[in-house]
Chains A and B, each alone.
Chain A
Amino acid sequence: MQFLFRHPLILSSIKILVVFMALSGVVAYLVYMERKVLAFMQARLGPMRVGPWGLLQPIADGLKLLLKEDIVPARADKAVFLLSPVISLVAAFSVFAAIPYGPGGWTITNPNIGILLILGLSSLGIYGIILGGWASNSHYPLIGSLRSAAQLVSYEVAAGIAVVSVLLIANSLSLVVIVNRQQQMGVWNVFLNPVAFVVYLIAGVAETNRNPFDLPEAESELTGGFHTEYSGFRFSLYFLAEYTNMVLISSLAVVLFLGGWLRPFSSLRWLWPLDYAPVVALVGAGAFVLWLGLQSRVRGERMFFAALAILCAALAGVVGIPLVLSSIQGVFWLTVKVLAVLYAFIWYRATFPRYRFDQLMTVGWRRLIPVALSSLIVTATMLIWTGYRVVPLLAANLLAGILTAWMVSVRGAGNRSRPTREAI
C-alpha cells in the first residue's frame, strides 16, 4: 500500500485527475461568474431561473450542449474538423501540469523549463483554432481563424518579451523558483516591473481572444468566428478550451507577477492574522449565502441556501484545523489572486468596445512590443548595474516605460503614417 502511494506514476495520476476535475468545475462556474458580473455591470441580473440565483445554470448549459445534434458540414474536411477542437482542449488542459499551485508537493510536475513548456504547449492550441476554421469549409470560420492566427502571433511576441524580463529577475525558467525568488526579494514582480505586467496583461487578454481583442469571434462581423460551424459537444470543447486558456493566462500572470501562492506581505511575520484568511473567507461566504437565503421567499430556495451555508461552515471548520490551514495556505492565495485577475478580464469585457483589425495590429506591434522591449533592456541593464535592488529596478522601469509609451503614442510613428481621409 505504502509503495503504491510512493510510486510517482500513481501519485501524479491522482493529482492530474484532481486538477482536471477541479479545473472543469472552475471553468463551468467561471462562465456563470462571467455572465453574472457582466450582467451586474450592465444593470441586469444575469441567469436567475435555473436554480436559486441561477446557480445550476452551468449544469443546464452543459447538458444542453451534450444533447444537441453534432453536425459536420457536408463539404468539410471531416477528419481535421473532428480533430481540431480536441487539439485546442488538450493543449489548454495539459499546460496546467506545470503550474505550481502551492509550495512543496502542490505541483503535478516541476520541470526546470516550466515557462517554456507552458508557452510552447499553449501556443499549440492555436492549431486547433486555425485547423477548425480551415476544415469547416466556410467563409466566416476561415476569416476568424486567419484573424486569430495573426493576432496570436503578434501578441505572443509582446507577452513573451514581458515574461523574459521576469525570467531575468528570477534567473530561472522554473515557475517554482520564480515564486520563491519573489519570496526572497520580499516584493512581487509587479512592483519590480509594473510595465511588463501591464504589457503581459494586455497581451494576455488578446491571446485569449477576449474583448476588446475578440476579433476572431466578433459576433457582429463573423457570426461566431472559427467555431461558427461547430455545434453541440464539439462546440463545448472549444468553449472549454477558451475558458481554460483564460484561467491559464491569469494563473501565469499571478505566478509570474503577483507572487503565485505567496500570502500578501509574506515576508512580514507580524501579519500572521492574514494566515487565517481562508477561514474568514469561508465564514464570510457562508454568512452571505445565509443572508441571500433569508431574503428569498421561496421555500426550496431557502433550504438550498441553508444547505450551502452549512457546507461553508463545515468547510471553514475543516480548514480551521492548523495542519490543514497551513497546507492549503498556498492554494487559497493562488485561487484568490487568479479569481481577481479573471474578474479583471470580465471587467474589461464589460467596459471596452472592440478594436478594428488595423488598430489591433497597431496596438500590438507599434505600442506593446516597443514598450515591452524597453522594459526588458532596462531590466537587464539595471540587474547588471545595481544588482537585485528593488527601488532602482522599479524607478528605471517606470521611467523607461513612460518614456517609451510617450514615444510610441504621443510622438508615435503610428500616428503619422495613418492614411488621411483624402488618401483613402
Chain B
Amino acid sequence: MNDMLRKIFLTDLLKGLRLTFSYQRPEATYTEQYPLERPPVAERYRGAPRLNNHPATGETLCIACNLCALACPENLIVVGWERTADRKKKLTTFTYDLSRCMFCGLCEDACPVDALELTQDFEIARYSRDGLIWDRQMLEEGPEPTRYTR
C-alpha cells in the first residue's frame, strides 16, 4: 500500500519538496558575509596575543617576571626590563614572534598577573614575516584589522 502511494502520488517527491522548502527560512542560512560581519569565535579560542594594561591607570600589568618566556616551547618571547631605584623590575620591551607561535597558550597560563593573554582576534595575517614580530606597542594596542563596510 505504502509502495503504491509512493509510485502513484509520488509522495517521496513531495517529501523532498517539503524539505527544500523548509530550508528557505532565514535562520537556516549558513553563509557568513565575512568582511562585513565577523563570525563569533569560540570563547576559549587562542588568537592574537595581547599585553593588558590596567584599565584605570593605563599602566602595564606586566611585572617582567619572564615566566612566559621560560614557559614558551618555541622560545619566541623576549622580555626586556630594567631595575628601578628600589630594585624592582620594570618592563621596557616585549617582543613576541607570531610567525613561530603555535598558540599553545602556555605563556598565558604561566603569567601570574593576567598581563599576557591570547585574545579572540584571528585576523593576524601580514604581508611579510617581519610584520609578524610584534613589539610591545603592537601587543598593547592589538592588530586593528581593516573594517570593511562595502
Question: Which chain B residues lie closer than 8 Å to A45 at the CB level?
Answer: 29, 31, 33
Identify A297's interface contact among B16, B17, B149, CB under 8 A: B149
Residue of B nearest to A300 (CB): B150
Minimum CB distance partner of B18 in chain A:
A351
Least distance between A212 CB and chain B CB atoms (Å): 9
Chain A residues lying within 8 Å of B7, measured Cβ to Cβ, are: 405-406, 409-410
Docked complex: B1-50 residues within 8 A CB-CB of A: 3-4, 7-8, 13, 16-17, 19-21, 23-24, 28-31, 33
Tell me the interface secondary structure of chain B in the complex: helix
Q: Are B20 and A350 in contact (CB under 8 A)?
A: yes
Known contacts A297-B149, A347-B21; is-contact A410 B3 (Cβ 8 Å):
yes
A352 to B16, CA, bound (A): 8
Closest to B24 in A: A40
Partner of A48, one of B3, B17, B20, B33: B33
A402 touching B149, Cβ below 8 Å? no
Query: CA–CA, A320 to B31, complex, Å?
Result: 40
Q: Are A43 and B8 in contact (CB under 8 A)?
A: no
Contacts of A350 in B (CB 8 A): 20
| Complex CA–CA separation, A42 to B17 (angstroms) | 12
Chain A interface residue number, banded: 20 to 34
Select one of B8, B16, B17, B30 contacting A44, CB under 8 A.
B30
> Which chain A residues lie closer than 8 Å to B30 at the CB level?
43-44
Contact A44 B31 (CB under 8 A): yes
- Against A, the Cβ 8 Å flags (1 = close, 0 = not) of B41-62 are 0000000000000000000000
Residues of B within 8 A of A (CB): 3-4, 7-8, 13, 16-17, 19-21, 23-24, 28-31, 33, 149-150
Q: A residues engaging B (CB < 8 A)? A: 37, 40-45, 48, 297-298, 300-301, 347-348, 350-352, 402, 405-406, 409-410
Which 10 residue pairs are nearest across A and B when measured between Cβ atoms?
A409-B7, A45-B31, A405-B8, A40-B24, A351-B20, A41-B20, A351-B16, A43-B30, A350-B20, A298-B150
